[in-house]
Amino acid sequence: MDFKDTPAEAEFRAKARAFLDEHAERLAPGESAAGFMERDDPDLIKKSQAWQALKKDNGWACLTWPKEYGGQGLSSLESVVWNQEEGKYRTPPNVFSIGLGMMGPTIMAHGTDEQKERFLARMARGDDIWCQLFSEPAAGSDLAGLRTSAVRDGDDWVINGQKIWTTGATYCKWGMVITRSDPNAAKHDGLTYLIVDMESPGIEIRPIKQINGASGFNEVFFSDVRTPDSLRVGAVGDGWRGATTTLMNERASIGGGGGGLRAEDLLGLAKKVGRLDDSSVRQRIADFYVRASGLKYTGYRTQTAISRGSIPGPEASIGKLVGAPMMQELASFGIDLQGSAGVLIDRDFGCQDSYLGSPGMRIAGGTDEIMRDIIARRVLRLPTEPRVDKGVPFNQIPSGPPTP
Amino acid sequence: MDFKDTPAEAEFRAKARAFLDEHAERLAPGESAAGFMERDDPDLIKKSQAWQALKKDNGWACLTWPKEYGGQGLSSLESVVWNQEEGKYRTPPNVFSIGLGMMGPTIMAHGTDEQKERFLARMARGDDIWCQLFSEPAAGSDLAGLRTSAVRDGDDWVINGQKIWTTGATYCKWGMVITRSDPNAAKHDGLTYLIVDMESPGIEIRPIKQINGASGFNEVFFSDVRTPDSLRVGAVGDGWRGATTTLMNERASIGGGGGGLRAEDLLGLAKKVGRLDDSSVRQRIADFYVRASGLKYTGYRTQTAISRGSIPGPEASIGKLVGAPMMQELASFGIDLQGSAGVLIDRDFGCQDSYLGSPGMRIAGGTDEIMRDIIARRVLRLPTEPRVDKGVPFNQIPSGPPTP
Amino acid sequence: MNFDFSEEQKLLKKTVQDFLTEQAPLAVNRAVLESDAVYDEGLWKSAAEMGWLGAAIPEEYGGAGFGYLELVLIAEEVGRALVPIPFGTSVGLATEAILAAGKPEQKEKYLTGLAAGDRIGTLAIAEGPGPVKLEDVTTTFENGALNGTKIAVPDGGAADTAVVLANTGGATSLVIVDLGADGVTRTVQRSIDPTRTVATLEFKGAAGELLGGQGEGAALTQRVLDRAAILTAWEQLGGAQRAFDITQEFTTGRYAFGRPISSFQAIRHRLADQYVDLELARSNCYYGAWALETNADELPIAACNARISATHIGELTSVEMVQMHGGVGYTWEYDCHMFYRRAKHLGLVLGSADEWRERLIQHLIAKQAA
Amino acid sequence: MNFDFSEEQKLLKKTVQDFLTEQAPLAVNRAVLESDAVYDEGLWKSAAEMGWLGAAIPEEYGGAGFGYLELVLIAEEVGRALVPIPFGTSVGLATEAILAAGKPEQKEKYLTGLAAGDRIGTLAIAEGPGPVKLEDVTTTFENGALNGTKIAVPDGGAADTAVVLANTGGATSLVIVDLGADGVTRTVQRSIDPTRTVATLEFKGAAGELLGGQGEGAALTQRVLDRAAILTAWEQLGGAQRAFDITQEFTTGRYAFGRPISSFQAIRHRLADQYVDLELARSNCYYGAWALETNADELPIAACNARISATHIGELTSVEMVQMHGGVGYTWEYDCHMFYRRAKHLGLVLGSADEWRERLIQHLIAKQAA
């Protein structure tokens, strides 16, 4: 048990650092790395694409992808080290994670040779940006309850319906959309997975304004949108299998969150409001700190497992299940510390912004409740509840209160 | 909105007090009223019976029972006032509440005239003590999953099986036992409700030792115990209806608990251990106090509703659902206040005893989980989960893991 | 024992509720949220006309001749409808301060306007973040002139009259100031619930007049805060109940996995827990209402109980409302965030629950010592 | 980065687990609980023979030549099996104190016996209820004689040697005492977990010898408590994991309403929450183990993290174990209460979680200031 690099890790880290030193600036102390893009700024996107291309051309992109698809054929170990190092530099926001982390692997697993040829190298270099079209207004936690339809017409599929919570829809060239091609089949059996050109006629994109005023996600409306059958991923009716691959890769990429208000920051806030000596405040901060530490060291354990070749499993749900509600609690506590002045939007510690932003973290990528179910089912292997929606034709599953 | 008695209440209260002053001693300040009987002390039971008979003979027993069954035909209002007043006096432990509160009303509702004639007046006077035989080792929260069988043999029923958590089985003359008379019927349809003489051959009673060392409950084993069909309550196969009456009356009699450690007591403990100035301690105690106050005033609201003729409904589950876990939390907190000395059984505040005793309160009379389900279903009228045990012959309902 | 409201009081509540259902759908609150308006002037006028603002003001000063039991029920309905008006502040803080300490001519001058809604009052205490120490303010009032800065003044964008806690030569006193006067600068601040604005008030030699005795400032303020806490608790309770009702309805209409999501224990048991805490808070609010109406000795403790449990249930129901709505709950378009904002706002505007818990313990220790 | 135990260490853990599965079923703990015995002597002997007691003791003093990474894994298994032996006390407290401060001749004299299990050690600090102030003890040690009373001495029924925190002329020092000596009265006290006795030790002129420097008592004690906290956290973690495993198995075998009760979200989601908190506690324990093994500067903070999260998960899993077992969980006959008792015992024996949280904050503030 030690925290030092192995010689191989140290060597790889030095090489990564040399590249980064040459092409990027180190973050100033206290500066945080650019996160996901809040708004769709075309200039920023161009910068992101340029950075991705530079990495690709120098052998630093898609480290774990096979070489034949434009990757470096390295292990997760190198990938972890690279991410640690890149995180210390000022780089443009990463708009490729959905493509590289989820869509790419799905195409590798279920796509045709032609699709792989056509899409993967461009995706790896950041030439095209990809989005994922999964959730629907009536299919969130119950993703397989989706209703967006795809009807075969000659060599094409014609898509109608609405997707929601699509990140980056406005600047993506390609999207992968999961559709219902057979409403008479059982819920998980009538789905088909399609690639669609996001510039196709019939696609309308509307940004979603969140409760904190930001708009990172979109609604995407499909009206008779056509995509050729050659862009189908996997067999007709077998879309759920592809979706499962995507979701497994998504889970692996949802981290503990990171960023935002930390337990230790509350010490500074407590001092500012004259309550650093208040033991009720100290006790609460200690609890937050212990929990955050547990999460951090759980990350170390996972990293160790990955570096030994394990694939991150459903255990990764812990990060989100602990981190997201804790962020909300931290924010709420930090606001309350400020007393009646807590209603003011304070930029120093950002508790109010965090209070308005954190509820989204408890929902996006699977609600707390879904995370608990995943742990119960996939980690603890507990028996599940009786299902009323299994083995029934999809269009006979109740989707709302019975009409009186 | 006021806390004063109405003139009628005041008059009744004065009369009650006069009787009590004449026949009992007032509790000393700080002394708590006798609770449920911990151990089966025959002398105490005789004293209890004498007190009940005295009350009965002077018109102070079974206030709300109809006069024809030995009651006083009064309203809940008088009953509430009486209980408040009696609670201020030193009286023997009440061993009649199961009979008077649950068994009596069930016989009134579903019994034959002969049964009413034979049992109710003696029950009211405390001449006979009654117990309830419901729960089984494999039928707790799921009471209707009971397996104790009753088979008709001539004019008798022959009972075999095991009941558990029976209060007072060792000193009761009569018991009411719910049995499964038809295992081929659906779960709730094959039950029959029988009165049984607890001194019958074939009944074996074993006290249950609880985790705190006390034994207030018993296991009762039935081996070919015979009871005549004339002691059947309600129709054959219709036992669940009777059981429901019993349970409704039980719910009404489960109070907020009362007694035990109070939030204010923790102030004294905090002072004793030198932590009264510690704001983390003060904050916790305040929270307990606010919660306990909410419970107390909820009781006032219920009392007001009762005095206006309402029947206590499933809302009464609140008392137990809040009170029982709070007792455990209070005890745990009180122990922790004492630091490393908290492991010692301290008699001054009793936190350790309370920590060992309180888990039982969260289970007896319906677990926290069952209480939440009752509130969800009966108060909030939320839709229920799919049931796999409805409409299936009882002996085909899974009762354990499939044998491999 | 009669721990309930009278039939007349319940009828009044029903009338208020019906009016607000009609006139104050949630779109009204949203309109204020999305515009530069600081409150809804039409509803404010209606509130005055129906006697809500003067419910506890004697009729001689233009009051409606109701009592506090009526007032709390009005507050509950105002809370339930998330009405974007400075009700709790003007009625619970400013009016109470003047009722408690005003000389007859001050009552005449201010109460009539407050009852009629022509005047909107507030109370300005805080000068920095963190718990307020009432004995320790730096704003001064000397020779009729007020100097200093107050922050987070509730409904500070709407008010035209402020009762200000100030230092008057070593002790504290309350001072009434006209916010339109010379020497007053008002800055509306960005806050978590823009439908109930807060403002910074800067006083540079602004003219004011003493309210109550010299040196009585801290005691009077505490008295006013205790009474306002009960009224606000009812407003919080109303909002919490509404959030809960909407969530219950949504989760029962929303299907996933072929059945209503409220049929899942993960949801239904948490709804049951919220119901329980709502009932506890309601009962504490009842007790507070009784204490307010009878001016009972128990009022300070009752105020703490009501304030603490209402703040808890306000935050719990609003947090759960967003969560149980899932993705749509996090959109601006749905109403959840208006409850989420308002609950946090109301839970802080009279000081955090922590401060009230501390006060409760002080009362309990004093009571045990007595 | 290698944040895991080695294969050899895991193998050792497996060996310990197998041994205890065989030799220490829960009936062993029950036997001590239901008798007048204060610990299981046979298992104590075995523990000594297998080198568990001397895992961290140098071989020259009879130790097994393991390290702390091995020791914590043994502690986890001891905790998992609820073994009724004074392991954590003798190894974590007494042995550590002597390792930290003993002169060579003291090490020779005591460590060999401690490693061999011939000697059972404890640490006596508390003199009254509430948080212990290490600088402020009334027991005195003057001219070789110890006077005063210590309460709640861990494993006080089993120990024969105590390290005592005493006042030595204004400052504090550690003193070793033979509990069989004249002037020592030992009274075993009724406690929440009778399988890990606590005792009152009364000293009236008992002979003792200084351990470590004069005036170093408080600092040494804190050092020992920090190290023992990590070891105990592993013992707590083992118990918590076992309680959880039994509960998971029980709720899956127990049917109600025609299906396993662990299929109900009311149960399964709470099991998921327990799993999560177990993992967090385990990770904090890993960090503590690393700090212990490397004697890292971060040890005091790591100790707080491990102690606080292990205490939390110990109590949570044992409370939930009783509750999820339902009625039978509340019977003496089922094993739940043994976990319920042990978890509370271990959560207090080195001071409550509150005390550790306070200590953590002090460390964090000091670190930020540095």
Task: Transcribe D210-276 into DSSP letters.
Answer: EESSTT-HHHHHHHHHHHHHHHHHHHHHHHHHHHHHHHHHHHHH-EETTEEGGGSHHHHHHHHHHHH
Best CA proximity match to A295, nearest among D305, C73, B366? D305
Same domain for A83 and A179? no
- Specify the length of chain C in residues: 370
Same domain for B204 and B229? yes
CB contact (8 A) between residue C129 and residue A399: no
The pLDDT, as a whole number, for residue A365 is 85
Same domain for A168 and A277? no
Q: Report how far Cα A50 is from the mean position of its chain's Cα atoms.
A: 22
User: Does the CB of B363 have a partner CB in chain D at under 8 Å?
Assistant: yes
CB contact (8 A) between residue A385 and residue B386: yes
CB contact (8 A) between residue B293 and residue C284: yes
Same domain for B213 and B317? no
Q: The dihedral of CA A193, A198, A199, A202: what is its sign?
A: positive
Same domain for A260 and A325? yes
B-facing residues of D in 335-354 (CB < 8 A) are 336-337, 340-341, 344-345, 347-354
User: Does the CB of D20 have a partner CB in chain B at under 8 Å?
Assistant: no
- CB-closest option in A140, A209, A211 to C326: A140
CB contact (8 A) between residue C287 and residue B293: yes
Instruction: Report the distance separating Cα D64 and Cα D112, nearest Å.
Output: 11
Q: Could you tell me if A163 and A225 are in contact, meaning their C-beta atoms sit under 8 angstroms apart?
A: no
Q: Could you tell me if A190 and A234 are in contact, meaning their C-beta atoms sit under 8 angstroms apart?
A: no
Compare all CA atoms of chain C with the CA of A365 and give the residue at the minimum distance. Answer: C327
**Residue B119: inside a domain, yes or no?**
no
| Options A78, A136, A219, A250, the catalytic residue | A250
Sorted by sequence, the CB contacts under 8 Å of residue A46 that are 6+ apart come out as none
Chain B: closest CA distance from residue D198 (Å): 8
- CB-closest option in A145, A275, A359 to C322: A359
User: Does the CB of C265 have a partner CB in chain D at under 8 Å?
Assistant: yes
User: Maximum CA pair distance of chain B?
Assistant: 74
How far apart, in Å, are the Cα atoms of A252 and each of A62, A131, A249, A365, A381? 15, 17, 5, 11, 19
CB contact (8 A) between residue C266 and residue D265: yes
Six token digits for residue C280 = 């506890």
pLDDT tens for A348-403 read: 899 999 999 999 999 988 899 999 999 999 999 999 999 999 989 999 999 999 88
Residue B171, domain CATH: 2.40.110.10
Cβ neighbours around A101 below 10 Å, total: 18
C-facing residues of B in 22-61 (CB < 8 A) are none
CB contact (8 A) between residue B165 and residue D189: no
D265-294 helix and D217-253 helix, angle to the nearest 10 degrees = 150
CB contact (8 A) between residue B1 and residue C283: no
Taking 70 as the threshold, does the pLDDT of residue A39 lie above it?
Answer: no
CB contact (8 A) between residue A141 and residue C328: no
Six token digits for residue C254 = 């929303």
Q: Is B91 helix (H, G, I), strand (E, B) or coil?
A: coil
Best CA proximity match to D201, nearest among D136, D157, D138? D157
Picking from A85, A296, A382 by the largest number of D CB atoms within 10 A of its own CB, the best residue to mutate is A382
Domains in chain D and their CATH numbers? 7-116 (1.10.540.10), 121-214 (2.40.110.10), 219-369 (1.20.140.10)
D-facing residues of B in 192-221 (CB < 8 A) are 208-211, 213
pLDDT tens for D147-161 read: 999 999 999 999 999
- Angle of CA points D7, D8, D13, to nearest 5°: 95
Sorted by sequence, the CB contacts under 8 Å of residue B246 that are 6+ apart come out as B102, B103, B105, B106, B132, B134, B176
Same domain for A261 and A326? yes
- CB-closest option in A339, A364, A373 to C351: A339
ipTM of the complex: 0.96
Cβ neighbours around D328 below 10 Å, total: 17
- CB-closest option in D253, D327, D349 to B165: D327
CB contact (8 A) between residue A388 and residue C131: no
**Residue A385: inside a domain, yes or no?**
no
Six token digits for residue C356 = 């009230």
Write down which residue in A239, A270, A298 finishes a domain: A239
Q: Output the 3-class SS for A253-267.
A: HCCCCCCCCCHHHHH
Residue B75, domain CATH: 1.10.540.10
Q: The dihedral of CA B42, B47, B50, B56: what is its sign?
A: negative
Mean pLDDT by 10 residues, chain B (404 residues): 86 96 90 60 91 96 93 87 91 90 94 97 96 94 95 98 94 97 95 98 96 91 98 97 86 54 93 96 98 94 82 79 95 97 93 94 92 95 93 92 82
User: Maximum CA pair distance of chain D?
Assistant: 73
Instruction: Report the distance separating Cα B38 and Cα D302, nearest Å.
Output: 46
- CB-closest option in B280, B281, B386 to A386: B386
User: pLDDT band at A259, cuts 50/70/90?
Assistant: low
Instruction: Report the distance separating Cα B371 and Cα C265, nearest Å.
Output: 12
Mean pLDDT (chain D, rounded): 97
Q: Could you tell me if C106 and C57 are in contact, meaning their C-beta atoms sit under 8 angstroms apart?
A: no
- CB-closest option in C258, C326, C331 to A141: C326
Residues A249/A255/A257/A259 CA torsion (nearest 10 deg):
-120
End-to-end, the C-alpha distance of chain A in Å comes to: 65
Q: Could you tell me if A292 and A256 are in contact, meaning their C-beta atoms sit under 8 angstroms apart?
A: no
Best CA proximity match to D313, nearest among D370, D250, D239, D232? D239
Best CA proximity match to C29, nearest among C79, C72, C93? C79
CB contact (8 A) between residue D266 and residue C264: no
Q: Is B98 helix (H, G, I), strand (E, B) or coil?
A: helix
Same domain for A219 and A264? no
A-facing residues of C in 305-324 (CB < 8 A) are 315, 319, 322-323
**Residue A244: inside a domain, yes or no?**
no
Same domain for A232 and A271? no
Q: What is the pTM of this model?
A: 0.96
Chain D: closest CA distance from residue B176 (Å): 20
Taking 90 as the threshold, does the pLDDT of residue A93 lie above it?
Answer: no
Same domain for B229 and B298? no
Same domain for A220 and A276? no
CB contact (8 A) between residue B339 and residue D257: no
Q: Any idea which residue has 């007896």 for tokens? A: B364
Chain C: closest CA distance from residue D273 (Å): 12
**Residue A192: inside a domain, yes or no?**
yes
User: pLDDT band at A257, cuts 50/70/90?
Assistant: very low
Residue type, A325: P
The pLDDT, as a whole number, for residue A35 is 53
pLDDT: which is higher, D87 or B314? D87
Six token digits for residue C286 = 């009842």
The pLDDT, as a whole number, for residue A235 is 97
- Angle of CA points A365, A367, A369, to nearest 5°: 145
User: Does the CB of A386 have a partner CB in chain D at under 8 Å?
Assistant: yes
Range with lowest mean pLDDT among A79-88, A216-225, D344-353? A79-88
Six token digits for residue B308 = 């206006």
Report the catalytic residues of B. Answer: 250
Chain C: closest CA distance from residue B358 (Å): 20
Q: Could you tell me if A100 and A123 are in contact, meaning their C-beta atoms sit under 8 angstroms apart?
A: yes
How far apart, in Å, are the Cα atoms of B196 and each of A153, B109, B116, B201, C329? 75, 18, 15, 11, 57
How far apart, in Å, are the Cα atoms of C76 and each of B66, B289, C17, C52? 42, 24, 9, 12
User: Does the CB of D266 have a partner CB in chain A at under 8 Å?
Assistant: no
Binding partners of C (≥3 Cβ pairs within 8 A)? A, B, D
**Residue A393: inside a domain, yes or no?**
no
Mean pLDDT by 10 residues, chain C (370 residues): 92 98 98 96 97 96 94 98 98 98 97 97 97 94 97 97 96 97 96 97 98 97 98 98 98 96 97 98 98 96 98 98 96 97 98 98 95
Same domain for B367 and B265? yes
Strand partners, C260: C255
pLDDT tens for D5-44 read: 999 999 999 999 999 999 999 999 999 999 999 999 999 9
The pLDDT, as a whole number, for residue B257 is 46
Chain C: closest CA distance from residue D261 (Å): 12
- Specify the length of chain D in residues: 370
Residue type, C27: A
Helices (H), D295-352: 299-325, 336-348
Mean pLDDT (chain B, rounded): 91
Instruction: Report the distance separating Cα A96 and Cα C102, nearest Å.
Output: 66
Range of the domain at A339: 256-379
Secondary-structure breakdown of chain D: helix, strand, coil percentages, each rounded to the nearest 5: 55, 15, 25
Picking from C264, C267, C270, C323 by the largest number of D CB atoms within 10 A of its own CB, the best residue to mutate is C264
**Residue B248: inside a domain, yes or no?**
no
The pLDDT, as a whole number, for residue A255 is 47
Residue B347, domain CATH: 1.20.140.10
CB contact (8 A) between residue B363 and residue D130: no
B-facing residues of C in 65-104 (CB < 8 A) are 69
Six token digits for residue D50 = 């297998």
Element (H, E) at D121: strand D121-124
**Residue A396: inside a domain, yes or no?**
no
Chain A neighbors of D268, CB-CB under 8 A: 372-373, 376, 380, 382
A351-361 helix and C336-348 helix, angle to the nearest 10 degrees = 140
Number of domains in chain A: 3
User: Does the CB of A179 have a partner CB in chain C at under 8 Å?
Assistant: no
Q: The dihedral of CA A390, A393, A394, A395: what is its sign?
A: negative
User: Does the CB of D265 have a partner CB in chain C at under 8 Å?
Assistant: yes
**Residue A368: inside a domain, yes or no?**
yes
- CB-closest option in D152, D189, D328 to B340: D152
Instruction: Report the distance separating Cα D277 and Cα D318, nearest Å.
Output: 13
Q: Is A281 exposed, middle or buried (0-12, 13-18, 19+ CB in 10 A)?
A: buried
Best CA proximity match to C98, nearest among C143, C12, C164? C164
Write down which residue in A239, A269, A295 finishes a domain: A239
Percent of chain A with pLDDT over 90: 75
Sorted by sequence, the CB contacts under 8 Å of residue B180 that are 6+ apart come out as B146, B147, B148, B149, B150, B190, B191, B192, B394
Six token digits for residue B396 = 């085909």
B-facing residues of C in 116-135 (CB < 8 A) are none
Chain A: closest CA distance from residue B139 (Å): 20
Chain A: closest CA distance from residue D7 (Å): 11
Q: Is D65 left (phi over 0), alpha (psi -120 to 50) or beta?
A: left
D-facing residues of A in 252-311 (CB < 8 A) are 264, 267-268, 276, 279, 282-283, 285-287, 289-291, 293-298, 300-301, 303-305, 307
CB contact (8 A) between residue B283 and residue A282: no
Cβ neighbours around B36 below 10 Å, total: 12
The pLDDT, as a whole number, for residue D333 is 96
Instruction: Report the distance separating Cα C163 and Cα A211, nearest Å.
Output: 34
Chain D neighbors of C257, CB-CB under 8 A: none
Strand partners, A221: A162, A204
Same domain for A270 and A366? yes
Q: Could you tell me if C276 and B375 are in contact, meaning their C-beta atoms sit under 8 angstroms apart?
A: yes
Q: Any idea which residue has 């075309």 for tokens? A: A42
Six token digits for residue C285 = 């609010």
CB contact (8 A) between residue B373 and residue C269: yes
Chain D: closest CA distance from residue B117 (Å): 36
Best CA proximity match to B322, nearest among B302, B350, B297, B292? B292
Compare all CA atoms of chain A with the CA of D354 and give the residue at the minimum distance. Answer: A283
